[in-house]
Amino acid sequence: MRFSIPYRETPHEPILGAPTARANFCEEDYIISGLVAEFINTITNIIYVIYALRHLSRRPTKDGTLAAKAPFYGLALVGICSALFHGTLKFHAQMGDDLSMLVASSCVLYRAMTFDRTWPEIKTFTVVLVVSLATVIVYHVATDEQVVHELAFVLLIFLVGLRTRSLIKTRVKSESQQATLRRNTLFGAACFAIGYFLWQLDLRYCSQLTRYKRQVGMPWSFLLEFHGYWHVLTAIGACTFMVMVEDLTNEDKAKDRKKN
């Protein structure tokens, strides 16, 4: 293809040592740099950090509770841990990436589920969430398997979606505002679903995609790094739910909705 850079025949020597993580993705390792294992999968993680910093910077100074900020800190943590994993392909970085996804999702779920609850209910939910999360984390680190981890992540996202719909019904009286928020919920869910679909395409058709990438050359081949879309779309989807949960659990914004 015109205006393209061909791929090198062999990868660079890893500057930080050979990969130790079991998980790997379709993007060719160390093909662009000896310092970064999966170049596109690494740099696309910046979207998590950008969204997190953007929303943290826009928060009113008076609303400085940790519960309100924790989901966005968690989103930034996902971006950092995922970038470290894709950049190094080390086992400990992989664990950081996997577990940060669960922690960030749990922060959003905690914020949504504990709003407007009694203290005994909050304590009960906190214990259940912490014990469940700790069990999954210990099992995942001990076995280095992906099925339970992925199921736990999907369950957390599903529960956040259900709770968000419930909050929309109970906290928003305007039909037009409810319709808008329901569309936002569907949009956020669609981002996760499409991102996961592209990730699975990346896994299933890796050999074909790699062949096409080498045919078209860089930078056009970067458009075929489908796992990178997972990062972008999940960042958008996660931030969509985080903002909705924050708006729905914010008393000042609830008063504004009543005025409108």
Q: State which residues form the domain around 139.
A: 39-165+176-250
pLDDT (tens digit per residue) in 114-133: 988 999 999 999 999 999 99
In the prediction, which pLDDT does 66 show?
77
CATH number at residue 203: 1.20.1070
86 carries a ligand binding annotation? yes
Residue 90 domain-assigned (yes or no): yes
Residue 123 domain-assigned (yes or no): yes
Q: Using a pLDDT cut of 90, give the percent of the chain over it.
A: 84
pLDDT (tens digit per residue) in 187-232: 999 999 999 999 999 999 999 999 999 999 999 999 999 999 999 9
Give yes or no for a contact between 122 and 114, defined as CB atoms under 8 angstroms apart. yes
Residue 222 domain-assigned (yes or no): yes
In the prediction, which pLDDT does 204 show?
96
38 carries a ligand binding annotation? yes
- Total domains, the chain: 1
231 carries a ligand binding annotation? yes
13 carries a ligand binding annotation? no
Residue 10 domain-assigned (yes or no): no
- Report whether pLDDT(237) > 70: yes
pLDDT band per the 50, 70, 90 thresholds, residue 236: very high
55 carries a ligand binding annotation? no
The whole model's pTM is what?
A: 0.90
Residue 156 domain-assigned (yes or no): yes
Between vectors from CA 3 to CA 221 and to CA 86, what angle results, nearest 5°?
30
